[in-house]
Structure 1
Amino acid sequence: MVTEALDGLPPELGREMRNVAVTVDDDSTSLDLLGLYQGVPLTERSSDYAAVMPDRITIFRHAICAVSADERDIVEQVRRTVIHEIGHHFGIDDDRLHELGW
């Protein structure tokens, strides 16, 4: 589902993603977060950004399943969560993402 969400991104957006890994956490049973972006957003990178570990987007399977009514809802929530976390990679904060509907 995460791969499908990533493949559904507009190609020009995908080409702009730099040094970011997307993973699924199957082990965490915490239901606090559906997804988490960790890294340096593209808007904060400067010319001295080099030789760093990739940013990481983690999608939390248990939390998404807990807030979803059925499989179709899970697919939609995964898509929304992936897009939301990618927004953070591009430097968009939570308030703006919520304004945009993500």
Structure 2
Amino acid sequence: DEALYGLYDGVPLTERGGYVPPLPDVITIFQNPLQDGCRSLEQLKDEVRKTVMHELAHYFGFSDIELQDLGLG
């Protein structure tokens, strides 16, 4: 069971069409699981970068399967 490092909450661009959601999209990054899962500052920096890229990709409509294929799973 993997720890949750980040979460995208919103409507991906690919699903919006002409619709604009009333609330802004939100990306949440979870500090404690990231820190607990990393052994060094360098690893933490890499995981934060990877997590932000992963969640931004969801905003652009990428699925978890596509992100796995890109190495951002």
TM-score with structure 2 length normalisation?
0.90
Deviations along 1:1-25, one digit per CA (max 9) or x if unpaired, are xxxxxxxxxxxxxxxxxxxxxxxxx
Alignment of 1:11-90 (within 5 A): 32-50=3-21, 52-90=22-60
Q: Which runs of 5+ in 1 are unaligned?
A: 1-30
Deviations 1:42-91 (A, max 9, x none): 000021325x1110000000011111111111000000000000000000
Task: Report the Cα distance in structure 2 between the residues aligned to 1:48 and 1:95, rounded to whole angstroms.
Answer: 26
% of aligned pairs identical? 42
CA-atom RMSD in angstroms: 1.3
Amino acid at match of 1:43: T
- Scaled by the length of structure 1, the TM-score of the pair is 0.66
CA distance in 1 between counterparts of 2:27 and 2:19 reads 22
The structural deviation recorded for 1:92 is 0.2
- Bigger proportion of residues as strand: 1
